[in-house]
Amino acid sequence: MRDLRDQIARIERGPVAAPGKTVSMGASGIDQALPNGGLALGALHEIAGAGPDTEHGAAAALLSAGILARMAGPVLWAMEWPDLFAPGLAGAGLHPDRVVFAAAGKEVLATMEEGLRHPGLAAVVGEIAGRLSLVASRRLQLAAEQTGVLAIALRRSRQFDDPALREPTAAMTRWLVTALPSPPALPHAPSVPGLGPARWRLTLTRCRGGEPGTWITEACDATGRLHLVSDLADRPAAETERLRA
């Protein structure tokens, strides 16, 4: 009887995205920690900022843009408040011409779910303020599975330590992006701070089928790629400067 119910549920849900399809996180050291070597398509993923960025979600938005820069096709970006600086996405490799921006107000979740049912989209991003229930996140996950579209829940809150951001959801992965001080850009002037490339601490707090982890990276470059700080430290100076250019 249970097998029959499962079969009926699969028929009602429609075709499920082929397993194993992924998009790179932009750094091989991070991809290696993820199942199938990247961020699963046809699945829901959560990205949130930390500290002051919990409210504004700037670093989380740039990480999302960097991921989407390595994909082809249009993107639906749903938000409650029209406060996204679209040209900033281009700095992380996502040209605004690829993005359909939807000022959805309180209907962000409904807009995401509707967008995820259109296989012509590469991805759907939704800026979600406050709580994302297990039921709502499961609906997004199922909609993404049907079409193979990537779903990103960009979590925001006016509280730096909002317990709603830690509640369980159906997301395949959950990421926390913490902005770190930029290093001195000039080796011969180490006392001059803040001129080097922006740095992040990326924390994978949950990964279905994988293990949590933490990495220090430079922020996404103009192609959406991340550079692990440890990798940069191991490269010759000339190669490091070429990567930053």
The whole-number pLDDT of residue 163 equals 79
Q: Which amino acid is at 30?
A: I
DSSP 70: T
Residue 196 forms part of a structural domain:
yes
Asked if residue 102 lies in contact with residue 81, where contact means CB atoms within 8 angstroms, the answer is no
Q: Does the pLDDT of residue 226 top 50, yes or no?
A: yes
Residue 8 forms part of a structural domain:
no
pLDDT one-digit tens code per residue, 110-145: 999 999 999 999 999 999 988 899 999 999 999 999
Q: Supply φ then ψ for residue 72, to 5 degrees.
A: -105, 150
Residue 9 forms part of a structural domain:
no
The domain in which residue 86 lies consists of 16-244
Q: Does the pLDDT of residue 7 top 50, yes or no?
A: no
CATH number of the domain bearing residue 54: 3.40.50.300
Residue 35 forms part of a structural domain:
yes
pTM of the model: 0.82
22-59 exposure pattern, b = at least 16 Cβ within 10 A, e = fewer: bbbbbbeebbeebbeebbbbbbbbbbbbbeebbeebbb
Say how many domains are in the chain: 1
Give whole-number Cα distances, 8 to 4, 11, 13, 164, in Å: 6, 5, 9, 33
The whole-number pLDDT of residue 195 equals 66
Residue 10 forms part of a structural domain:
no
Residue 144 forms part of a structural domain:
yes
Q: Is the dihedral of CA 102, 105, 110, 113 positive or negative?
A: positive
pLDDT one-digit tens code per residue, 227-238: 898 754 444 433
Residue 7 forms part of a structural domain:
no
Residue 2 forms part of a structural domain:
no
